[in-house]
Structure 1
């Protein structure tokens, strides 16, 4: 499992306002290119985001589904990005003085990525998720102002 942590100068509620807006998903998730639709029940149980991954003209349509929504502390999603596979992504948010800490854990659970040794996938996911948290921080801190 790949884990990253980032300090943010905003409240956990600010972070969850970004996470709760499905249309912002490609603004903070590295690899997501565009949104096609957001279930009206987002971020409710089993709600899905319908997004595309890749770059034009090589875009693949897929979905991400909420498996747990516990604001302002925890969200768990099943992210799909076939043909690479699926991953469980957990974001945990903890208040601290002058802001919060956000931790992201990601693990490939099916498809070709799940068959690769973690010694290969973990550094790639950590590199990607460092930028994902950076983008999430910009959005959450911006909404806090």
Structure 2
């Protein structure tokens, strides 16, 4: 199991606003692009999106389904990647003062990923999570202006 956390300089509502916008999925999930709604209203239970993954000149399509949602505290997804199988990706969103502590926990469920799951694979997933959570933080912080006390200091007032 690969779990990693990241402190985001915005409140949970700002993080959730990014997570619930399926158009932003490819901007924070490493390796994906070209997302589009497939079924339901993202991120309602059972809703899904499709995405593209480019490996050199080849492009593959994957699908992500919402398996559990507790707005604005938890989002659990099943990412399906065809012959590679599927993985459970759980996001835990917690208030941390005026910031948000996000923990991602991922493990293979089915297919080749589940069969070949080992410590080396978990190490690679950890590297991916570090980048993914940093992207989520940058995106959230870019889309949501800092409040008056974000980061333990007062924001400058426009004069």
Name the TM-score class by shorter chain: over 0.9
Q: Which has the higher strand share?
A: 1
- Any unmatched runs of 5+ in structure 2? 146-159
1:83 aligns with 2:92: no
Query: Max radius of gyration: which structure?
Result: 2
**Residue 77 (structure 1) shift:** 0.3
Describe how 1:26-65 pairs up with structure 2 within 5 A: 26-55=26-55, 57-65=57-65
Describe how 1:72-111 pairs up with structure 2 within 5 A: 72-111=72-111
Moved over 4 A (4+): none
SS of residue matched to 1:77:
strand
In 1, Cα distance between equivalents of 2:104 and 2:118: 16
Q: Is the contact between residue 33 and residue 55 of structure 1 (CA under 8 Å) also seen in structure 2?
A: no
Count of residue pairs brought into register by the alignment: 145
Which fold has the larger relative contact order, with Cα–Cα distance below 8 Å and residues 6 or more apart in sequence?
A: 1
RMSD: 1.4
**Residue 40 (structure 1) shift:** 4.6
User: What are the superposed Cα offsets for residues 56-89 of structure 1, whole Å, 9 maximum, x if unpaired?
Assistant: 6311112100011111110000011233221000
- Any unmatched runs of 5+ in structure 1? none
- Tell me the TM-score normalised to structure 1 length: 0.93
In 2, Cα distance between equivalents of 1:81 and 1:31: 12
User: What are the superposed Cα offsets for residues 76-115 of structure 1, whole Å, 9 maximum, x if unpaired?
Assistant: 0001123322100000011112301000000011111111
Aligned partner of 2:12 in structure 1 is 12
In 2, Cα distance between equivalents of 1:66 and 1:92: 14
